[in-house]
Structure 1
Amino acid sequence: MSAVAESDRPSAGLLSLWYNREARQVIIQIFTIAVVFAAIFYLARNAAINLERIGKDLGFAFLLEPSSYDINQTFIEYSSRSSHLRAAVVGVLNTFAVAICGVFLATVVGFVLGVLRLSKNLLMNKMVYCYVEAVRNVPVLLWILLMHGFVVHTLPHPKQAGDIAETFFFSNRGINMPSPTFEPLFWASALVFIAGIVGAVVYKRHAKKVQDETGKILPVLWVSLGLVIGAPLVVFLITGMPIEWSIPELKGFNFKGGVTVKPELMALTLALALYTSAFIAEIVRAGIMAVNYGQTEAAHALGLRNNRTLQLVVIPQALRVIVPPLTSQYLNLTKNSSLAIAIGYMDVTATLGGITLNQTGREMECMLLLMAIYLSISLAISSFMNWYNKRIKLIER
């Protein structure tokens, strides 16, 4: 009997671990991690075997080879003799341009539409409702194609281009605008500008601390403007305005000089921004409705007008509801920019995941790099929005 009892002890000990809640959770997590790593190892080994069978090895030396293709929109110097790596960098910058401009425009339009969606004016309310429902229920690719056709066929030819002060020109070739050329002494103005931003932030915190302790209100706005704009402007004038402008001029059938914003960039940014703004409008509407109406009544009782009530009372509280789903819309807009290839805009998907992949035959490496780039951009956006969400959350006392 004693021998049998001793042989049963190990199984009883394992069962006691399994019936222990904390131990069971640890065991399940270890098992899950082991399965995930086993799956990753299997996929990596399978890919390596398949590459070996077709005579390919995994390497990234192809990034240093000449790209041998042109890109229509570039923010840095690039030619067909540049490397695939530089082409990929140009594509990433083009993706950033669409993401940044699109997020800004979509946020502004979405917030305005979200507020108007709650307007007591019946006509305005229904017009915004029709816009939201019409835009968000049509695939975004169709909006991109439609906006591209609208931009290309509506704007005039270069010889009939519209202009602003003969400096900015609008045509179906894009928007031509002056481009700056910085001289060596310009770094002084840039340095003072950066120092001014830091000084404005420090002064604002100091002013808030003084107001909390003494109730005295310091002139934050004027001091900040002096530090951020006034001081750099003085340094800029003292150093002899070390900047020159290249003004676009019509030569032949197109403009020369300056910088050009291609119609593909304009169309893609507008389409993604307007499409995303419809979703943001509903998020803003839901966030405002989540704020108890008693807050609005209390603000009115204190004598605040409707616009000040919305600005100072409702929106700050609604942001706690708005920001989390807003993050998803920013991520969707950034990832939807990969549809740019449909209208010939050369973003990172079209360069690294398109022409570079086809020319080099390095599909595995290109896809891995492309996934890593989009993952990094998405994690950066999520981290910033999570930080902002924690900053505005309610703090219990």
Structure 2
Amino acid sequence: MANSASSPVRLLYDVRVRAVLYQVVAVALVLGIGLYLFGTVSRKLAEQNIATGFDYLSRPAGFVISQSFISYDSGNTYGRAILVGLLNTIWVSVFAVILSTVLGLVVGIARLSRNPLLSTLALLYVEALRNVPLLLYLFLWYALIVAVFPPVREAWQILPDVFLSNGGLIMPSIRWSAAHTGVLASATIGIVLAFVVAAFMRRHRVASGHARAAWPFVLAALFVPPLIGFLLFQPDLVVNWPEKGRFRITGGLQVTPEFTALLVGLGLSASAGIAEIVRAGILSVGRGQWEAARSVGLHDRQTMRLVVLPQALRVIIPPLTSSYLSTFKNSSLAIAIGYPDLVMVSNTTMNQTGQAIEGIAIFMLVYLGMSIAISMLMNWYNARVALVER
């Protein structure tokens, strides 16, 4: 009896049990405080006859959104309007991450160049972009686009059926339908399946010791799903051509000045920080790795690509995750230049419905969820590229 009674006490001396217990208690306290505050606020709002809850999401929004990547008009619901703002935020953030990564990698390597002119230009690039607030750059790029490019009626035709003006870039596009979405989903499945097949073939080759060509299986996994999707859904390849009128251009795909200014501002600002991250990661690799690579006949570019960068990733990935998170969260500054992101659409919704708590809760949960997803993805990749002691 004494041993059974003392067993819970002995468990408390286990570090892992205490760690889990502390986390459970902390989560319970946070949830308790949150429920208490929510109940108090709901009661006070009810006393003032202010509606609460998320029923308003099913009501017609009644306002127009200047840019949408899915079909939307003023007769749609507030819920669809918020979805449009979320997709706008994700769209510009993803492109900004890609742009900043490419520029940061190039500038970071240029900072270490033995060419003094190239390294100095890279240094000036980093210092100029890193030491100026992002909001000022957004205003700058937006003002340049509006001031430099001609009005819509005098738009430049830079390519056949491609027009550029202060109203944005307009180009031909495909009339999107549910069939195109099905083919896109099939292509996504093909890409994921190709990675899975490549990883399986790599493990099989290591385990068996037999060198077997993997590329036929990878190509089959990559192209068969979209081919099946194309034959199954049979999308219509109808091109929506832009038509230039006297005062405006109708049809086609329009890239707005707000989207362009936000993309350039976010991408360039984040690329300066990523360049320093890349430079620090490369400098963390010992000089002996360079000398060993040269001793087996590798050129400097081959050494950088095959030897140095793979080892530098273990230093680059953790701060790179923070940079990606900052880029995603900094996209909320889009409201300053009129880009209809999640925050701007939510603000419009709150102004019309008066339900500020629900609106703030929605975009806070969205930003939290997206940040956690980015962190999990980058942590998974960091675990894949981490060096393992033998």
Q: TM-score, normalising length from structure 1?
A: 0.85
Check the 8 A contact 1:157/1:171 in 2, yes or no.
Answer: yes
Check the 8 A contact 1:200/1:224 in 2, yes or no.
Answer: yes
Q: Over residues 117-162 of structure 1, what are the superposed CA-to-partner deviations in whole Å (9 max), with x where a residue is unaligned?
A: 1111111111111111121111111111111111121222334433
3-state SS of 2:336 partner: helix
1:103 is aligned, of 97, 109, 115, to 97
Check the 8 A contact 2:243/2:249 in 1, yes or no.
Answer: yes
Matched, 1:168 2:156: no
Which residue does 2:351 correspond to in 1? 358
Point out where structure 2 has 5 or more consecutive residues left out of the alignment. Answer: 1-5
C-alpha deviation, 1:287, in angstroms: 0.7
Which residue does 2:131 correspond to in 1? 137
Matched, 1:376 2:388: no
Counterparts in 2 of 1:227-266, with a 5 A limit?
228=222, 242-266=236-260
Compared CA separation, residues 225 and 245, structure 1 to 2 (3 A): farther
Q: Over residues 78-135 of structure 1, what are the superposed CA-to-partner deviations in whole Å (9 max), with x where a residue is unaligned?
A: 1112211111111011101111111110111111111111111111111111111121
Q: Which moved more, 1:233-242 or 1:332-341?
A: 233-242
Check the 8 A contact 1:210/1:217 in 2, yes or no.
Answer: no
Q: Which moved more, 1:237-246 or 1:100-109?
A: 237-246
Compared CA separation, residues 125 and 217, structure 1 to 2 (3 A): farther
Check the 8 A contact 1:184/1:242 in 2, yes or no.
Answer: no
Compared CA separation, residues 249 and 206, structure 1 to 2 (3 A): same
C-alpha deviation, 1:186, in angstroms: 6.4
C-alpha deviation, 1:199, in angstroms: 5.5
Check the 8 A contact 1:169/1:177 in 2, yes or no.
Answer: yes
C-alpha deviation, 1:53, in angstroms: 3.1
3-state SS of 1:170 partner: strand
Larger Rg: 1 or 2?
A: 1
Count of residue pairs the alignment pairs up: 380
1:216 is aligned, of 211, 215, 229, to 211
C-alpha deviation, 1:172, in angstroms: 1.1
> RMSD of the alignment, in Å?
3.3
For residue 216 of structure 1, what is the amino acid of its counterpart?
A
Which residue does 1:74 correspond to in 2? 68
Compared CA separation, residues 224 and 177, structure 1 to 2 (3 A): farther
Q: Percent identity?
A: 40
In the alignment, the residues of structure 2 paired with residue 331 and residue 139 of structure 1 have an alpha-carbon distance, to the nearest angstrom, of 17
3-state SS of 2:238 partner: strand
3-state SS of 1:260 partner: strand
Counterparts in 2 of 1:329-348, with a 5 A limit?
329-348=323-342
3-state SS of 1:243 partner: coil
In the alignment, the residues of structure 1 paired with residue 193 and residue 58 of structure 2 have an alpha-carbon distance, to the nearest angstrom, of 43
In the alignment, the residues of structure 2 paired with residue 262 and residue 166 of structure 1 have an alpha-carbon distance, to the nearest angstrom, of 19
Check the 8 A contact 2:153/2:245 in 1, yes or no.
Answer: no
Q: TM-score, normalising length from structure 2?
A: 0.86
In the alignment, the residues of structure 2 paired with residue 204 and residue 29 of structure 1 have an alpha-carbon distance, to the nearest angstrom, of 39
C-alpha deviation, 1:268, in angstroms: 0.4
1:90 is aligned, of 69, 79, 84, to 84
Check the 8 A contact 2:190/2:224 in 1, yes or no.
Answer: no
For residue 211 of structure 2, what is the amino acid of its counterpart?
K
Compared CA separation, residues 310 and 350, structure 1 to 2 (3 A): same
For residue 382 of structure 1, what is the amino acid of its counterpart?
S
C-alpha deviation, 1:183, in angstroms: 7.7
Compared CA separation, residues 184 and 347, structure 1 to 2 (3 A): closer
